[in-house]
Amino acid sequence: MPRWFALVALAMLSTSSACGQDSLTTFCTTQDVGFDIDQVSALEDNWGWSGLADAIMLTYDGLPPAADPNQEPVWRVGEVQVMVMIGQAELDSYADDAELSVQVFDAANLRGATPYTRRQRLVRSSLRWSNYSFSSDPTGAASDFSLYRERDYKMAWWPFDFRQVIPESGMSSLTYGVAVSWPTADTPLVGYSQFDRPCADNWTNYDNADPQHELSGTGWASNGDRFDGDVCNWPMLKVSIERKQVCQP
């Protein structure tokens, strides 16, 4: 949507590795930072819209050349972390009932692509929360656009583990999408960055949005093509990549 999410460059940093053995071949598994919104922008807004799905496009460029062409490394998204926010005034009464879905698309074009999906219920006690205050009213929930929006929030990084969803054979498209969607309501609110990210890599699907949008029914499309302007704000996401390859002696 205009001036919203997107994803583009990646900082590839190896964080940890482990080895395993299959027959006579030893494999090493490495965890890379696929994307970290904190490295390219900062929190400025929050948003929630029931039925809406918003994606950012990323490119994985961390595959090293294989010593043996028959033993190319494989990779997959291992984990996605989403910044979620609850108003400080609502925190004590929150009923652990809000749900969020995260989708990973193994494709450069989301139209017609089938995603890997994790849907989770937000349990407040499972996350580590910190305080955040906006200097002006955030966008907030789509159902409450006309109401006063709270400025004082609790925020936390919420992990979605994809290692049991995406097969160990890995992903094939080096350009891929990561989306957030609200399956049942416009909460939990998701944090959004400053308006300094390219719109071309921000895709939105309004088909199931409630309330409806004028673009409902048009499916996935890039907001760089849909709207005027070059910069959007992206959802606050962190993406971890799991890479498996034959260990070098």
pLDDT at position 73 over 80: yes
The per-residue pLDDT for 10 is 28
pLDDT at position 7 over 90: no
Q: Which range (99-108, 145-154, 194-203, 236-245) has the least confidence?
A: 145-154
Peptide bond into 211 cis (omega under 30): yes
Q: Which range (68-77, 81-90, 164-173) has the least confidence?
A: 68-77
Q: What is the sign, positive or negative, of the torsion defined by CA atoms of 86, 90, 95, 98?
A: negative
Mean local confidence (pLDDT), 180-204: 97
The per-residue pLDDT for 236 is 98
Dump pLDDT digits (tens) for 42-67. Answer: 999 999 999 999 999 999 998 877 66
Q: Where are the chain's structural domains?
A: 14-246
Dump pLDDT digits (tens) for 133-174. Answer: 999 999 999 887 655 578 999 999 999 999 999 999 999 999
pLDDT at position 189 over 90: yes
